Amino acid sequence: MQPIEALLLEPVGCLAEFPSAPFHEIAVRLFGRKGKSILSASRSYWRLLNLIDAAKTPFDVEKKSLAETLEVEAVDAASIYEDVLPALAELKSMGIRIFVASSLSRRAASRFIERNSLGEFLSGVCARDDSGGVKSAPLLNALGGASLAREKTMFLTDTLEGIKTARRVGVHPILMMNDPDEAQRLAMHNPAGGVISLHEIPDFIRLIAAQYERGRSENHKVGHQGSD
């Protein structure tokens, strides 16, 4: 893997503990889903994204307002992980460009960033309103808008859909291992790496850079010996 220059973040499940109920409520009221939510917030969220993606038509004004209101409700009830701010500060000091690339509405994403004082660490924000879609669309928007090299970019996710989305756009999926049993199952889908805490990301990026330089050095030695 080449040295990492950028990190794309989806707040739900990776930066904070969100409630699942508002995402399930959107699915019920806008897509006719039945029953109570028994899924984690991340899985409820990504299931909702699949419904939005499959619909292929933008929300009308009324539906857009309802979805945004419930997403903001989820944001206001979310608890940011305690390691997020120090980890982002360290990553920024390393020169890593950090983007929120989220399928949340712009209103909800902005609320999350403002509420948790994340703006100073970010190089950009791409939400579904800006990107013309969900799942892959915000990642592609961030990559294209900031001219990021895909092979030098990571996407942090805690779901199988997130891993698939990262691979679809050509960036490295890094598994956020929030639940041990779920993480063990997801590890079988070969993410590029995994972390238990966001605080591990800076050292992980340093390790990748060191391994890359070691490989270059060894290749240089082999090439030099061959020329002799």
Mean pLDDT of 57-63: 92
Q: What is the pLDDT of residues 85-127, one digit of tens each?
A: 999 999 999 999 999 999 999 999 999 999 999 999 999 999 9
For CA atoms 127, 4, 78, 189, the dihedral sign is positive
Q: What is the pLDDT of residues 186-206, one digit of tens each?
A: 999 999 999 999 999 999 999
Question: Residue for token digits 């993410």?
Answer: 191
Q: Are strands 193-195 and 172-176 parallel, antiparallel or unpaired?
A: parallel
Q: What is the pLDDT of residues 146-185, one digit of tens each?
A: 999 999 999 999 999 999 999 999 999 999 998 888 888 9
Q: What's the pLDDT at 37?
A: 72
Q: What's the pLDDT at 221?
A: 65
pLDDT at 222 over 80: no
Mean pLDDT of 42-69: 94
Residues 6+ apart with CB under 8 A from 158: 13, 14, 42, 175, 176, 177, 178, 182, 186
Q: What's the pLDDT at 151?
A: 97
Q: What's the pLDDT at 220?
A: 64
Helix (H, G, I), strand (E, B) or coil at 6: strand
Percentage of the residues of the chain whose pLDDT score is greater than 90: 83
Mean pLDDT of 136-151: 98
Percentage of the residues of the chain whose pLDDT score is greater than 70: 96
**Residue whose C-alpha is closest to residue 200's, from 175, 218, 225:** 175
Tokens of 48: 């909702």
Q: What's the pLDDT at 56?
A: 80
**Residue whose C-alpha is closest to residue 97's, from 51, 145, 35, 47:** 145
Average pLDDT, the chain: 93
Which amino acid is residue 119, in one-letter code? G
How far apart are alpha carbons 157 and 192 in whole angstroms?
Answer: 11
